[in-house]
């Protein structure tokens, strides 16, 4: 039987519960930033090469020769050339837009995200989330079960270095940049070598703080993927491992969720992907309809979710459990 795709998907009980207990972490991918005017992976690599052309470090003929290479190889070559010629890359110009319409769309999207969680994880380098002013989430009174009045807006804390991931993973008003960020250029994971080192297996050597962070994230929190397709094997591996551990202990429950857009004629695809994500990855697919607004529909979805399940601060008991599990 075909799966009906709604404009605004129904909120699963597990997702609602995670938000209300303050244990939901939005995981933001490139799809969210593209709606705000930032480039996709391929466009980002091409823009970087064009910046080197403008600086006189590459010719148009050389860029044409590189045209068929993968984005990551292009980025590796561009980084090598920039280092060779001591050229300072203007990442802010590469990653952000002057298009006011795109900026407004980005503001809507990221404001909605800030209502759904207090800690965020992103693979994006841009500063969209970093520059948002986060309202303090309402703290639920355990006696009356009524939310208290929140405080004023708070500056977000951008965490870019992998050695700071674990200690900050449960801190409120925090954005953890899994692949580094612009405020700390040395932290940015761009080249093939960067990527391999970042996710290097730690079984035979020192602990890899990135893998430890991902293990704790997917084992101790509920994650809502936004603008992210689960294509990166290293991240998907950690989700699957945690799902298998839960299955072995008999504690199978819906904990992680993926927002993804589809057209109405793709209902059979949604059915197959839902089965794949749930049974193979331990992730619940939340499909939304793209027929009217295409990918921008996700902004309406997030705003509806933010209104229905605004984030709360974790209870004291949850904080104690977190401390115990991290020790």
The CATH number linked to 235 is 3.40.50.1220
d(CA 134, CA 267): 36
1 is a domain residue? no
Cβ distance 14 to 253 under 8 Å?
yes
Of 95, 125, 141, the residue at which a domain comes to its end is: 95
161-207 pLDDT, tens digit each: 999 999 998 899 999 999 999 889 899 998 888 888 888 876 556 78
6 is a domain residue? no
Percentage of the chain beyond pLDDT 70 is 83
Same domain, 246 and 130: yes
Residue 147 clears pLDDT 70, i.e. is over it: no
* Average pLDDT over all residues of the chain: 85
Same domain, 198 and 275: yes
Same domain, 84 and 209: no
d(CA 84, CA 69): 20
Same domain, 131 and 117: yes
2 is a domain residue? no
Per-residue pLDDT, 320: 43
Residue 326 clears pLDDT 80, i.e. is over it: no
d(CA 158, CA 104): 22
- The pTM of this model reads 0.85
Residue 327 clears pLDDT 80, i.e. is over it: no
Instruction: Give the pLDDT band of residue 324 (cuts 50, 70, 90).
Output: very low
Residue 72 clears pLDDT 60, i.e. is over it: yes
Per-residue pLDDT, 148: 56
Same domain, 132 and 80: no
Of 10, 271, 222, whose CA–CA distance to 116 is shortest? 222
Span 101-124, average pLDDT: 93
5 is a domain residue? no
Same domain, 179 and 320: yes
Per-residue pLDDT, 197: 87
CB atoms within 10 A of CB 17: 15
Per-residue pLDDT, 149: 53
Same domain, 62 and 167: no
12-59 pLDDT, tens digit each: 999 999 998 889 999 999 899 999 999 988 899 999 999 999 989 999
- Does residue 137 or residue 234 have the better pLDDT? 234
| Angle at the Cα of 227 from the Cα atoms of 82 and 266, rounded to 5 degrees | 130
Name all contacts of 158-167 with Cβ < 8 Å and 24+ positions apart: 158/127, 158/129, 158/130, 158/183, 160/184, 160/187, 160/188, 161/187, 162/187, 162/198, 162/209, 162/210, 162/213, 163/209, 165/209, 165/210, 165/212, 165/213, 166/209, 166/212, 166/213, 166/216, 166/326
Same domain, 172 and 90: no
Question: Structural domain tally of the chain?
Answer: 2
Instruction: Give the pLDDT band of residue 223 (cuts 50, 70, 90).
Output: very high
Same domain, 114 and 235: yes
Domain residue limits at 173: 13-38+100-326
Handedness of CA 210, 214, 220, 221 (dihedral sign): positive
Asked which of 78-82, 145-149, 218-222 is least confident by mean pLDDT, the reply is 145-149
Residue 325 clears pLDDT 70, i.e. is over it: no
108 is a domain residue? yes
- Does residue 89 or residue 326 have the better pLDDT? 89
Per-residue pLDDT, 124: 93
Residue 142 clears pLDDT 60, i.e. is over it: no
Residue 317 clears pLDDT 60, i.e. is over it: no
202 is a domain residue? yes
Instruction: Give the pLDDT band of residue 155 (cuts 50, 70, 90).
Output: confident
Residue 253 clears pLDDT 90, i.e. is over it: no
Same domain, 185 and 65: no
Q: Is 325 exposed, middle or buried (0-12, 13-18, 19+ CB in 10 A)?
A: exposed
Span 121-138, average pLDDT: 81
């Amino acid at each position: 039987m075909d799966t009906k795709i709604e404009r605004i998907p129904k909120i699963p009980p597990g997702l609602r519960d995670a938000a209300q207990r303050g244990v939901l972490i939005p995981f933001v991918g490139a799809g969210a930033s593209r709606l705000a005017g930032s480039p996709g992976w391929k466009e980002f690599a091409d823009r970087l090469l064009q910046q080197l052309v403008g600086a006189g470090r590459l010719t148009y003929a050389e860029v044409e020769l590189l045209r068929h290479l993968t984005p990551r190889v292009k980025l590796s070559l561009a980084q090598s050339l920039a280092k060779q010629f001591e050229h300072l890359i203007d990442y802010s110009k590469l990653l952000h837009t002057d298009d006011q319409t795109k900026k407004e769309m980005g503001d809507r999207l990221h404001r909605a995200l800030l209502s759904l969680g207090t800690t965020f994880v992103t693979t994006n380098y841009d500063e969209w989330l970093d520059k948002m002013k986060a309202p303090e989430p309402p703290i639920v009174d355990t006696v009356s079960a009524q939310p208290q009045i929140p405080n004023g807006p708070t500056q977000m804390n951008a965490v870019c270095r992998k050695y700071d991931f674990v200690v900050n993973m449960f801190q409120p008003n925090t954005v953890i940049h899994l692949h580094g960020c612009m405020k700390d250029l040395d932290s940015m994971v761009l080249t093939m070598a960067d990527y391999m080192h970042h996710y290097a297996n730690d079984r035979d050597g020192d602990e890899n703080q990135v893998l430890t962070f991902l293990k704790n994230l997917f084992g101790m929190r509920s994650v809502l993927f936004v603008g992210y397709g689960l294509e990166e094997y290293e991240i998907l591996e950690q989700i699957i491992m945690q799902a298998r551990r839960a299955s072995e202990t008999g504690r199978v429950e819906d904990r992680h969720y993926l927002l993804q857009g589809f057209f109405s004629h793709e209902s059979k695809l949604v059915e197959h992907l839902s089965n794949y994500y749930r049974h193979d990855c331990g992730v619940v697919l939340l499909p939304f309809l793209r027929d009217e607004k295409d990918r921008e529909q996700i902004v309406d979805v997030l705003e509806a979710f933010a209104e229905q399940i605004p984030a709360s601060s974790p209870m004291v008991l949850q904080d104690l459990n977190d401390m115990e599990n991290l020790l």
